[in-house]
Amino acid sequence: MNRITYSKATDVRDAIQEHSKTDKAQYIAGGTNLLDLMKVNVMRPAHLVDINKIGFDFIEQEADGGLRLGASVTNADTAYHQHVQQHYPLLAEAMLSAASAQLRNMATNGGNIMQRTRCYYFYDTSTACNKREPGSGCSAINGYNRMHAILGTSADCIAVHPSDMAVALRALDAVVCVEGPSGKREIPMEAFHRLPEDKPDQDNTLAADEVITSIKLPPSKYAKHYSYLKLRDRPSYAFALVSVAAALNLDEQQHVLEASIALGGVAHKPWRMPEAEALLIGKPATAANFRMAADMLLSTAQGYGHNNFKIELARRAIVRALEQAVNKQATL
């Protein structure tokens, strides 16, 4: 790890000011990903601004019936929070499927969605990687790419975003609240993470010195029919090969009133396709209809060799997650 200086911010303005003093500053909250990357010299900040004590350690209900998750609340405290468990069980389930109990006790909500990819080449400084070193090339496209993306890739990067929480937040239409030198703004989850295009070094749309302060969840509407299906190499403590956050609203005849399907492990950002969800509206919640939606969601999927299996895996996972969502009891 390179030598660093450190300061503990006392409020959000102080944090932003400290961060803007140098272009080599990084905010640190849980640190579970940043310190890991610093130890392997993938990230080399000169100064760390600790944002754990800037007043965003709350979870509170909003006037509109939604819920605001403070950025520095840990993943464990969020996932086990009674209101989250009761009204946003999809989010709780996704968060508890991630990492280990120890990491969830440190990792924060803001940090979770700021995670960098776990692409092996991104971590290996002896290889080319456009995300780590723009212009150096992508070692994954023609390399070992079993964990890599099948949707929304570019000629410069096929990395996937590793977060489970982000997939659930995307399915629930969460909004990321940020603050920077020029004030506050809100970024819908859809627009927070980006596709790699020709700038894979940019994971998200945060502007310089901006910091996440909280994440807003709209009023709960998927507390009954939901499923977070995470497929991975072992049943605990592993990143998803493919994950599906599925949420449905059904009428009494089991026809679909609303549907939300977000995919993880398949793209540079949580993947959603409104057209595929629209296909289900008004139709019976059956496997045949779910397969149609799955086919549409994956219509542009492309494998790169070792990850070809993900296309069929994702197709089946979408159907299974939706079936689990219809009858949540059956999955317990």
Partner 1 sequence: METEKYNNTPQEPTISLTVNGQMHTLKVEPWVSLLDALRDHLQLTGTKKGCDHGQCGACTVLVDGKRINACMTLAIMRDGAEITTVEGLSQGQDLHPLQQAFIDHDAFQCGYCTPGQLCSAIGLMQEGKAKTLAEVQDLMSGNICRCAAYSNINAAICEVMGIENRGGSL
Which residue, 101 or 281, has its beta carbon nearer to partner 1?
Answer: 101
Q: Which is nearer to partner 1, 23 or 251 (CB)?
A: 23
Residue 276, φ and ψ in degrees, nearest 5 = -70, -35
Which residues of this chain interact with partner 1, rule CB under 8 A?
A: 1-6, 21-24, 28, 30-32, 35-36, 39, 46-48, 50, 52, 76, 80, 99-103, 105-106, 234-237
Q: How far is the CB of 47 from partner 1 (least distance, A)?
A: 5
Alpha-carbon gap, residue 295 to 64, rounded angstroms: 36
Q: Taking the complex as a whole, how short is the minimal distance between the CB of residue 19 and partner 1, in angstroms?
A: 11
Cβ proximity to partner 1: between 20 and 308 the closer is: 20
Nearer to partner 1, 86 or 100 (CB): 100
Please provide residue 174's backbone torsions phi and psi, each rounded to the nearest 5 degrees. -75, 165
Give the containing element (helix H, strand E) for 96: helix 89-96
**Comparison of 50 and 197: residue with beta carbon closer to partner 1:** 50
Minimum distance from CB of 1 to partner 1 (Å)?
Answer: 5
Least distance from C-beta 328 to partner 1, angstroms?
Answer: 18
- Bridge-partner residues for 284, per DSSP? 255
Which of 232, 247, 170 has the alpha carbon at shortest distance from 204?
A: 170
Measured distance CA(310)–CA(265) in Å, rounded: 9
Name the residue nearer to partner 1 (CB basis): 156 or 209.
Answer: 209
Q: Give residue 195's identity as a one-letter amino acid code.
A: L
Torsion of CA 221, 170, 226, 163, to 10 degrees: -140
CA dist 188 to 171, 172, 176, Å? 11, 11, 6
Closest approach of partner 1 to the CB of residue 32, in Å:
5
Q: Where is 153: in which H helix or E strand?
A: none
Shortest distance, position 289 Cβ to partner 1, whole Å: 31
